A and B are shown apart, each in its own frame.
Chain A
Amino acid sequence: MSESVIGPAMEYATVRPFEARRGSLIRTGWRLGPDAILSSLTRAAAVLVMLMLAVLVAVLTHASLLSIHQFGARFLVSSEWRPNELPAGPKKDKSGNVIVDEDGNTVMEMIPPSFGALPVIFGTAVSSVLALLFAVPLSFGAALFLVRISPRFLAGPVSFLVEFLAAIPSIAYGMWGLFVLGPFLQARVEQGCRWLYDASGHPSAFHWLFRESTHLGTRAVITRELPLSGHDMLCGGLVLAIMIVPIITAIGRDVLKSVPRAQVEGTVALGATWWQSSREMLRYSRAGLFGAVMLGLARAAGETMAVTMVIGNNNEIRASLFAPAQTMSSLLANEFAEASTDLHRSALSEVALILLAMSLLFNVIARYLVVGKNSRSAAAH
């Protein structure tokens, strides 16, 4: 595992012949010939790619400065998302009289807009974890099938189909979730749960699943029945699960394939059953599999269109899976184009920055695990 984070160790061991001979008979000076032009062009392109990431981070940070200054760390823990001013009551002067403008209207004291990302961070976390709960067992099962069970003539087409599932655009899953899965969940699953809840003897235990409470400030609490619309956290999690199954399956398959044959043969020779040797395979490649899960998580957390279409877009924290929710990306998709104040847009940019930081973190961890694992197994051969 001491090799570079970036790629299999093998890549660096290969030295191309003309580069090994640098400084010998072949001249590699900076004359303005095709050689110099091509090498500087390609180098410039590579530098440009590195700049792209720097620009992305810099631009988002710059755009969210206003919000960072205004809210600081409170942005991460506040659950209030209110782009508009709220009237707090009549404005009074020092002596306690209500101020009236020229037209005779009462001047109101306004509460300034306030932004906090906690509800969307919560929504992203819950919907992603929900997606992983559904997707990881399915994907690992399918990966094992492709590596250990499937006959060769079946493995190719099945792999292609699973990969095609990954190529279907997000908006198509969104349409499907909106018009097919959502109504199905509403009519069957949610009404079914509701029926069970009503029929069971201890309804209070599952109260939270069907009720929502609204806190106005810190005072009033309104509790009402959830509408059970089918477009909610559960639907979002399920659509996300379908979308990340291909990526986890494909990477899991590659990781399992790289388990040295001797490792599997050894367990079988010792008398292991099919599952015991499979479990040994899973254990051997656990780092790579974890990397695959992280990549799936990164995709789920950043997924936008499908989630926006099915999750209900309610910017509040609710305990129930049957309540509409909001993720970071769906918040951006819904509000960014319509944001009218600089502060609102800046707060949205800060949400995007958090999203970017999160996906970078997941990706870096995943690459480290998947690549590190592969290079070890490559060295073992």
Chain B
Amino acid sequence: MEHPIHNVVTRTYSRVMFAVCVAFTVAILGILALVTAYLLSIGASSLSWDFFTRLPIPRGMDGYPGGMANALLGTVILIALASTVGIPVGMLTGIYLSEYSANSMIAAPTRFICDVLNGVPSIVVGILGYEFVVRPLNHFSGYAGAVALAFIMVPIVARTTEEMLRLVPNSYREASIALGATKARTILKVVLPAATGSVITGIMLAIARVAGETAPLLFTALGSALMTVNPSSPFPALTLQVYEHSRSPEPAQQKLAWAGILVLIALIFVLNLGIRFFARSVQTRTAR
């Protein structure tokens, strides 16, 4: 038999560790609350209509410090450009991994490479964009930034599409084949529609990720204080503008940066909520 004192010690130790686990969770949530509360309060107090409607205005000019209208538009255009390349390639890869992988030599390596690409530091992707697009064309451009963002999107979209298509029960495919449909028809008319919501989840996940990226744009899109919709010139982006303003010694420009952060986080929060909503709706549908 164990000595009773020993027993008391072990139990107390266990209780202490239990409390430590709870305390650590509370600490993490506390940090989250601290960070977001600060971002929200400072950001909200700096946000104004000017932010959405005006360009950045240098100190000493009328209307200083202006807003980030061009950067907002720039981010939207960059995401749209990156999506037109990244989403189709990612989705096709996901379909391949889920539907064509059974007798494939390249499915396993592709899946592995997707996971590895997901972990590549985004600044390295920025350098790839520089060497691949900026250097041959000899100038910074929105296209280079879009290429870098697309590079980041592809593996995310591919892996989420694959995982979501795998959730579609095999009986759907069997039924479609049994009715005489070809494989392509089965995928396009049965499997994909059954997983529409979840495929949108993957797309939103990828958009949420690239919307907040700064590092890959530093040496590709470069940023711009002008209103431009021409992606073959240096291109503004919200994150780049925030980074530039955050390094400014001017309090007015710093406030503008806080407002930019708030808008960015609000966008990502909405996307995240959307992701959860769609993911849940899909889970309940396939569980039926």
Residue positions of A touching B, CB distance < 8 A: 4-7, 14-20, 22, 33-35, 37-39, 41-50, 52-53, 55-56, 59-60, 62-63, 137-142, 144-146, 148-150, 158, 160-165, 167-176, 178-180, 242, 245, 249, 273-276, 278, 295, 298-299, 301-305, 309, 329, 332-333, 336-337, 348-349, 352, 355-356, 359-360, 362-364, 367
The answer to whether B116 and A170 have CB atoms under 8 Å apart is: no
A49, A56, A298, most chain B CB atoms within 10 A: A49
Taking A38-B188, A169-B265 as contacts, is the C-beta distance between A249 and B28 under 8 angstroms? Answer: yes
Choose one: A141, A278, A367; the contact of B23 (CB below 8 Å).
A141
- Min CB–CB distance B231 → chain A (angstroms): 18
Contact B120 A56 (CB under 8 A): yes
Chain A CB count within 10 A is highest, among B113, B116, B123, B132, for B123
Can you name 27 A-B residue pairings with CB atoms under 8 Å? Answer: A6-B111, A16-B173, A34-B182, A38-B183, A42-B99, A43-B106, A46-B106, A50-B109, A56-B125, A165-B35, A168-B212, A169-B264, A170-B215, A171-B214, A173-B35, A175-B261, A179-B254, A249-B28, A274-B17, A295-B119, A302-B119, A305-B214, A305-B243, A332-B123, A337-B218, A355-B123, A356-B124
CA distance A140 to B100 in the complex (A): 38
**How many Å lie between the Cα of A46 and that of B32 in the bound state?**
38
Looking across the interface, which residue of chain A has its beta carbon closest to that of B16? A275
Pick from B96, B130, B243, B261: contact of A336, CB under 8 Å: B130
Residues of A within 8 A of B106 (CB): 43, 46-47, 50
When the two chains form their complex, are residues B174 and A17 in contact, meaning their CB atoms are under 8 A apart? Answer: yes
Chain B 168-201: CB-based contact to A (< 8 A → 1; otherwise 0): 0010011001000011111110000000000000
B215 touches A164 (CB 8 A): no
In this complex, what residue of B is CB-closest to A168?
Answer: B265
Cα A6 to Cα B114 in complex, Å, equals 11
Instruction: State the CA gap A135–B88 with chains docked (Å).
Output: 37
Overall SS of chain A's interface: helix
Cβ–Cβ < 8 Å partners of A48 in chain B: 89, 93
Q: Are B100 and A169 in contact, with the CB atoms below 8 A? A: no
Interface residues on B, range: 35 or more
Q: Note all chain B residues with C-beta closer than 8 A to A362.
A: 119
Q: Which residue of A lies closest to B188 (CB)?
A: A38
Indicate whether A141 sits within 8 Å of B21 (C-beta atoms), given known contacts A53-B117, A171-B242.
yes
Q: Known contacts A17-B173, A41-B92; can you find 7 more A-B pairs with CB under 8 A?
A: A38-B188, A42-B95, A59-B128, A161-B32, A304-B215, A329-B121, A332-B123
B154→A49 contact, CB < 8 A:
yes
Known contacts A144-B21, A169-B239: A273-B10 contact under CB 8 Å = yes
Mark contacts of B248-271 with chain A using CB atoms, 8 A cut-off: 1 yes-contact digit, 0 otherwise.
000000100110010011001100
**How far in angstroms is the closest Cβ of chain A from B35?**
5
Cβ of B112 and Cβ of A169 under 8 Å apart?
A: no
**Cα distance A170–B131 in the bound complex, in angstroms:** 24
Known contacts A138-B27, A304-B215, A359-B119; is-contact A242 B21 (Cβ 8 Å) = no
User: B116 near A43 (CB under 8 angstroms)?
Assistant: no
- How many angstroms between the C-alpha atoms of A163 and B268 in the bound complex? 12
Which of chain B's residues have a CB closer than 8 A to the CB of A44? 92
What residues of chain A lie closer than 8 Å to B208, measured between beta carbons?
167
Which residues of chain A are within 8 angstroms of B268 by Cβ–Cβ distance? 167-169
